[in-house]
Structure 1
Amino acid sequence: MLRRPLLYTTLTALLLAFTAPLLWALSGSFKTRGDIFEYPPKLLPSPATLDNYRSLLTDQPFGRWFLVSTVVALLATVVSVFVCALAGYGFAKFRFAGKQLLFGVMFSSLSIPFAVILVPLFVILVKTGLGSPWFALIVPWVAPAFGIFMMQQYIVQSVPDEILEAARIDGASEFGIFRRVVLPLLRPSLGALGVWQFLQSYNSFLWPLVLVSDSSQYTLPLGLQTLFRAENRQYDLVLAGAVLAVLPAVLVFVVLRKQLLEGLSTGAVKG
């Protein structure tokens, strides 16, 4: 009898712990800079003001930062989901020389921090003339090892060989089988991977910091960092920008929440 109340109490406490920073940022975005640090702190702004949002959108290139981050994250997500699904399908359903070795090398790359390969990756892109921010910002997220491994595991569990053989007997090409048979069966895992990949690219800070030097091409994390590093520490604008920056991530989660939940629960319902 005590388990359910204890469970609800624990979940409520975790919910408050996770949402408290967002609620504080939302409240602070409607306060003046002086009111943000008043003591004792007040959750509701009094009086509320829209000057922070007005100044952020008119006096700062926030719209440009927002556009760059959103477009780069969407492109990286679409390309990454397709490449990971294609690579996972190859590892799961095809036999070829060196498959185990190649999969082992790919899987072991999960243990390598991104900071280790950051400089070599930057040098390669510059030497090959591919250092354009619109292209280079997407490169690290095109074929993540985690995404390939996730797709490979899901395809092994959810795509029977009999369906593929039937499609081959009907004369379908291998890419046609992947596009018309495999991809529709992968919708839950594609949604889960899409949410994860969008957040990885959208929240990236270290790679854009190394790559981008023109302030007009800054991503949101870089742009908000410039406001934070300003001489007078523009906390009011940073909070307003943080609130607006959350909107694309929330929208992606709302659109893909069904596929995300199905993808996360697949392992639990598979015997």
Structure 2
Amino acid sequence: MSASTPAHARRRHRTPSRALLYAALTALLLAFVGPLLWALSGSFKPRGDIFAYPPRPLPSPATLANYRHLLDSQPYPSWFLISTAVALVATAVSVFVCALAGYGFAKYRFTGRTFLFSVMFSSLSIPFAVILVPLFVILVKTGLGNPWFALVVPWVAPAFGIFMMQQYIIQSVPDELLEASRIDGCGEFRIFCQVVLPLLRPSLGALAVWTFLQSYNSFLWPLVLISDNDQFTLPLGLQTLFQAENRQYDLVLAGSVLATVPTVLVFLLLRKQLLEGLSAGAVKG
């Protein structure tokens, strides 16, 4: 459409395209939010009403019996505490270690740097299921098979996190700033903590969200490590409810709704850093 076309004609031309875009975005929103809304509604329904036909979008009447039964009959608070605590510890350790390793790969030149980075980067192509058994055997043989420690191990230094931080540091931390800090008498670790880390807040937030979700939603690794029902993580605990003889869908829905609370809180707390970290790579790249 030429520049001489009247503005109202251009607006009429854009209206159908914009309507289609909004319709597609609305459909995607319903596809993603629909299951969560259904779970939220079903968690307040008696078990017999969850699969009633025709389905009722709202519980009538709403009841908290599912939540009371879940908390009274199952060690759900223990599952919730273990999953949340492990995910928080794994996130804190992973963010620091990945930032430190990414800084080393980005700003230091040492023998074997390229080889080590290639080995680390190539590990992204190896599924976790391939190293699951060797990792478990190593932890048991070294006496480090305690669940509270072992649950954190896979998320301490993920290759994706190191690569992400290395790329962001190359783009965001100028060498001149580091040289100026060294001239002022700062040690290397002090430079990392006081100069580099504050510049990495967007990428640290994005990495923290990713690590928290990976650890919090992990199922296969806890399944190998834990056999005691009281020490289950949330994914394992909810799976036991689903595999029960009478398929306790009411408790599974209530537990699933409660399980979303930490993830939503993490996203709300770190949403600014997450969006900045994701957009920074697009802009600077």
TM-score, normalising length: structure 1: 0.99
Aligned partners of 1:53 and 1:97: how far apart in 2? Answer: 58
Aligned partners of 1:268 and 1:117: how far apart in 2? Answer: 33
Deviation of residue 107 (structure 1)?
A: 0.2
Aligned partners of 1:214 and 1:167: how far apart in 2? Answer: 51
User: For residues 96-151 of structure 1, what are the alpha-carbon distances to aligned partners after superposition, in whole Å with 9 as ceiling and x for unaligned?
Assistant: 00100100000000000000000000000000000000000000000000000000
1:166 maps onto 2:180 in alignment: yes
Deviation of residue 10 (structure 1)?
A: 1.2
Matching residue of 1:70: 84
Deviation of residue 257 (structure 1)?
A: 0.2
Deviation of residue 3 (structure 1)?
A: 2.9
Aligned partners of 2:181 and 2:63: how far apart in 1? Answer: 62
**Count of matched residue pairs:** 271
Aligned partners of 2:191 and 2:17: how far apart in 1? Answer: 48
Aligned partners of 1:49 and 1:185: how far apart in 2? Answer: 49
Correspondence list, 1:188-199, <5 A: 188-199=202-213
Identity %: 80
Deviation of residue 268 (structure 1)?
A: 2.2
Aligned partners of 1:107 and 1:269: how far apart in 2? Answer: 23
Correspondence list, 1:135-154, <5 A: 135-154=149-168
Matching residue of 1:241: 255
TM-score, normalising length: structure 2: 0.94
3-state DSSP of counterpart to 1:49: coil
Q: Residue 133 of structure 1: which of 147, 156, 159 is its match?
A: 147
Aligned partners of 1:195 and 1:3: how far apart in 2? Answer: 34
Aligned partners of 2:18 and 2:277: how far apart in 1? Answer: 26
1:5 maps onto 2:13 in alignment: no
AA matched with 1:196: W
Deviation of residue 269 (structure 1)?
A: 1.9
The two structures, once aligned, show a CA RMSD in angstroms of 0.7
Aligned partners of 2:23 and 2:52: how far apart in 1? Answer: 31
AA matched with 1:78: A
Gaps of at least 5 residues in structure 2 are: 1-13
1:257 maps onto 2:262 in alignment: no
3-state DSSP of counterpart to 1:238: helix
Matching residue of 2:100: 86
Aligned partners of 2:164 and 2:281: how far apart in 1? Answer: 11
Matching residue of 1:267: 281
Matching residue of 1:120: 134
AA matched with 1:184: P
Deviation of residue 6 (structure 1)?
A: 2.0
AA matched with 2:179: E
Deviation of residue 43 (structure 1)?
A: 0.8
Larger radius of gyration: 2
AA matched with 1:195: V
1:201 maps onto 2:233 in alignment: no
1:104 maps onto 2:118 in alignment: yes
Q: Which runs of 4+ in 1 moved over 3 A?
A: none
Aligned partners of 2:229 and 2:137: how far apart in 1? Answer: 21
Gaps of at least 5 residues in structure 1 are: none
Aligned partners of 2:238 and 2:283: how far apart in 1? Answer: 42
3-state DSSP of counterpart to 1:213: coil
AA matched with 1:175: F
Aligned partners of 1:6 and 1:187: how far apart in 2? Answer: 37
User: For residues 200-225 of structure 1, what are the alpha-carbon distances to aligned partners after superposition, in whole Å with 9 as ceiling and x for unaligned?
Assistant: 00000000000001111100000001
3-state DSSP of counterpart to 1:45: coil
3-state DSSP of counterpart to 1:11: helix
3-state DSSP of counterpart to 1:171: coil
AA matched with 2:146: S
